[in-house]
Structure 1
Amino acid sequence: MVDMITEWVSAAGYAGVLALMFLENLFPPLPSELIMPFAGFAAARGELSLTGVVIAGVAGTVLGNALWFELARAFGADRAKRFCERFGRYAGVTREDLDAAESALRRWGPMAVFIGRMMPGIRTLISVPAGLIEMPRHIFYAWTLAGTFLWVGGLALLGYMLEDAYTRIEESIGGAGKIFVGLGALLLVFYGYRAWKRRRR
């Protein structure tokens, strides 16, 4: 499984890493916790360079966050909150979510953007209230770039360093491990479906 995913990331190249990380910040097909370590695996095998992988991952992430930030600035706080009151339950972002994120930003300022870039579930959302309160662009992008570099670079480096260990683990687990991975994926789909049903209700 490690070989299969790593070969796929390697075949996609830097443009593929950039595109996946961009999409991860719009409507996540895969989390960065999977994308970047496998890109690091490919770098460890000499199929990509570690520097190139990090640059592509950072670029894709910043572009995805820039889209949310600029849309939020253009949309405005009042319209965004009215939109969330009406349609937020479908997107999983409520008026209360925006109010809480906005409050954190006003309290902690740019540090909230920096730390938020390394927190699952917050990484993309933090860009919206930053745009709504019209955080100066140079501050938003500087802190987003810094936090993104640490997160993405750390994940890629982890994959680069652990490539051999992951390969040995997969070989020792064998077919049983693949069965457990498949069952885990089915459970994730099941719980995701239940959460979606609850949200619709």
Structure 2
Amino acid sequence: MMLYLAQTTGEPTGGLAGWAIDVIDALGGLGIALLTVLDSVLFGALPIDVLLPLIGYTASQGAINIGVAIVCAAAGVVVGSLVQYTLGARLGRDRARALLVKLPGIKPESVDRAEAWFARHSTKAVLFGRMLPVVRPLISIPAGVERMALPKFVVLTAIGSLIWNGMLLGSGYLLGENWHQVVDIMGYVPYALLGALAVGVPLFLRRRNRRRKNAATAIVETNTSG
């Protein structure tokens, strides 16, 4: 089914893309999970952001249930991210970085960016990093290096993956034969997300500091009056 759709919609069927399509065509939901596991383990080497909208389109044609597709994709990301997390925890920062920069397609600045993103945003980095193409393939490594609490890491990874993969799959499902437009549309989402964080995080911190200051003032006034 997917191979036929790829041919009729003009999607290339050779190389990694063609192999991925064959896997999903043969294994269904398990194939989706396998591909997202591999994409995570191989640091974003698969064209997953193109494949998921195509899978969403096939779901609209009855090839697979869209809910199953979303859950399977997120489950695969969680498993693959746990592999990365373990790698970061076992190797530590220096050895993990030395290994990553030797891999094809991974630039030292990308590794540094993911590390800086995690250092700055911590838990938010794991959640929102799943929606940022440059950070997403690598964010689990610094989480492992810093030994982020594993339950929190799993939950945040699952939520972020459900949101991002759900958007890709759901958009392909809704757009139907125009599923390929999703790639262009979703390309603007990371910028919108970064803009929202740039505005929202300072506001959140300002309000939190204001509440703490008000609470401290109230305590002082209470102690003084008492």
**1:114 maps onto 2:116 in alignment:** no
Structure 1 pair 161–2 and aligned structure 2 pair: CA distance change class (3 A): farther
Q: Matches of 1:98 and 1:122 in 2, distance apart?
A: 8
Question: Partner of 1:3 in structure 2?
Answer: 5
Report the Cα offset of residue 134 of structure 1: 1.0
**1:24 maps onto 2:26 in alignment:** no
Range moving further from structure 2, 101-110 or 115-124: 101-110
Name which of 33, 50, 54 aligns with 1:34: 50
Question: Partner of 1:75 in structure 2?
Answer: 91
Structure 1 pair 68–166 and aligned structure 2 pair: CA distance change class (3 A): closer
Amino acid aligned to 1:138: P
Q: Give the unaligned 5+ runs of structure 1.
A: 170-201
Answer with 1 or 2: which has the greater Rg.
2
Q: Matches of 2:120 and 2:134 in 1, distance apart?
A: 20
Q: Matches of 1:141 and 1:148 in 2, distance apart?
A: 10
String of CA shifts for 1:57-92, please: whole Å, max 9, x gaps.
1111111111000121122234334x34xx724443
Structure 1 pair 159–105 and aligned structure 2 pair: CA distance change class (3 A): same
Question: Partner of 1:55 in structure 2?
Answer: 71
Question: Partner of 1:141 in structure 2?
Answer: 154
Q: Give the unaligned 5+ runs of structure 2.
A: 10-20, 182-226
Q: Matches of 1:149 and 1:160 in 2, distance apart?
A: 15
String of CA shifts for 1:104-143, please: whole Å, max 9, x gaps.
3222111011111011131120000111111111221111
Question: Partner of 1:13 in structure 2?
Answer: 28
Structure 1 pair 130–163 and aligned structure 2 pair: CA distance change class (3 A): same
Question: Partner of 1:175 in structure 2?
Answer: none
Structure 1 pair 164–90 and aligned structure 2 pair: CA distance change class (3 A): closer
Question: Partner of 1:123 in structure 2?
Answer: 136
String of CA shifts for 1:125-183, please: whole Å, max 9, x gaps.
0000111111111221111111111000111101111113459x9xxxxxxxxxxxxxx
Structure 1 pair 109–34 and aligned structure 2 pair: CA distance change class (3 A): same
Amino acid aligned to 1:120: P
Question: Partner of 2:176 in structure 1?
Answer: 163
Name which of 81, 105, 118 aligns with 2:118: 105
Percent identical residues = 30
Asked if the contact 2:39–2:48 (Cα under 8 Å) also holds between the matched residues in 1, the reply is yes
Amino acid aligned to 1:154: M
What TM-score, normalized to structure 1? 0.71
Cα RMSD (Å) of the superposition? 2.7
